[in-house]
Amino acid sequence: MRRLLSVWLSLAVFVVPKAFGDEQSTSPYATAADFAKYAMKLREQALLKVEPQVFIPTSSRPAIQRYPWKTNIVTTMFWVGEQAGGNNPVPNYRSAWDFNWTTNYGGTDNPDSSARRNCIPIAFIPKQNPFYYALPYNDVTHGQFKPEAPLVIPWFKQAYTGQGQSVCWHRWVAIRKGNRTCYAQWEDCGPFRTDHFQYVFGNERPKPNLNRGAGLDVSPAVRDYLGLAPTDVTDWQFVEWRDVPPGPWRSYGENNQWVSARSKAEQRMADRSLSAAKK
């Protein structure tokens, strides 16, 4: 990264147009502003070419965690189908990325303990992972990536599938309370903000808000598994889906990579069995 930025800076110094006296510039850029735009484009291209670091564990020391823990984060609860009211100004019939969230989930994710069993609603089996969360950032606006998205999202290059196709949606995190850790997928944006990348991907703390500066919203399933109060404090970190350990979070959901992988494996076995039977 440092070497690429050095090359970019050297290039900037080398080709910047002259502006001394009456000297005629040979630069193809009419103004300094035009050159600045070109230089910024070069910088972004250089950053996107940087390959992710791979940490190889050894027997003498543990592997370095790729994503750091965000500690002591005020955590509140929200749910699919939640109505607006109190400190929740926006209803959750749809999410930042799914306009038919309630329908696609299978119904309202009723948080009442009497309406739940084993971390899921009694009334229906969720069609999406009941272990979900929201963070105050959306990488897409008006069908386009925000300008900073390719630069601040660590997995942007690897996860990119097309313009305006969110690389944050369905991303996994670990959420820790005391000696218990839960895993969940990113399904909405909040609380309150959708632009705070300095906290979500950087070192800033959550901004003050009506919910005591909450920086993480979690689903009723996460609340139940961790035993959280309506407003609590947790730690969280991003994780790769292949590093998610066994647990109820791997059991449900068309948006769940573990469910998809299991379905594909079962289909392959069925196809082999059918092929063998035909021989």
In whole angstroms, how far apart are CA 136 and each of 186, 214, 218, 226, 253? 11, 10, 12, 21, 23
CATH of domain 70-260: 2.40.40.10
- Residues 199 and 33: their CA atoms lie apart, in Å, by 31
- Long-range contacts of residues 252-256, Cβ cutoff 8 Å, at least 24 apart: 252/120, 252/125, 252/126, 252/127, 252/128, 252/129, 252/130, 253/126, 253/127, 253/128, 253/129, 253/130, 253/185, 254/127, 254/128, 255/128, 255/129, 255/170, 255/185, 255/187, 256/128, 256/129, 256/185
Q: Which residues of the chain are in CATH 2.40.40.10 domains?
A: 70-260
Residue 264: which pLDDT band, with cuts at 50, 70 and 90?
confident
The 10s digit of each residue's pLDDT in 201-216 is 999 999 999 999 999 9
The 10s digit of each residue's pLDDT in 84-134 is 877 777 889 999 999 999 999 999 999 999 999 999 999 999 999 999 999
Token pair belonging to 279 = 């021989």
Residue 191 scores a pLDDT above 90: yes
What secondary structure letter does DSSP report for 164? T
Residue 2 scores a pLDDT above 50: no
Least-confidence region, from 78-92, 127-141, 237-251: 78-92
The 10s digit of each residue's pLDDT in 59-75 is 444 444 589 999 999 99
Q: CA 262, 119, 104: angle at the middle one, nearest 5? A: 60
User: Which residues share a beta bridge with 238?
Assistant: 173
Q: Do the Cβ atoms of 214 and 148 come closer than 8 Å?
A: no
- Please choose, from the candidates 232, 227, 135, the residue with its C-alpha nearest in 3D space to the C-alpha of residue 181: 227
Token pair belonging to 227 = 């035993």
Looking at per-residue pLDDT, the higher value among 96 and 12 belongs to 96
Least-confidence region, from 16-20, 124-128, 258-262: 16-20
Across 48-179, where does the E strand assignment appear? Answer: 70-77, 116-117, 120-121, 132-135, 140-141, 144-145, 172-177
End-to-end CA distance of the chain: 56
Q: Mean pLDDT across the chain, nearest whole number?
A: 82
| pLDDT at 32 (0 to 100) | 55
Residue 21 scores a pLDDT above 90: no
| The model's pTM | 0.74
- Residues 196 and 202: their CA atoms lie apart, in Å, by 9
| pLDDT at 91 (0 to 100) | 86
- Residues 29 and 36: their CA atoms lie apart, in Å, by 9
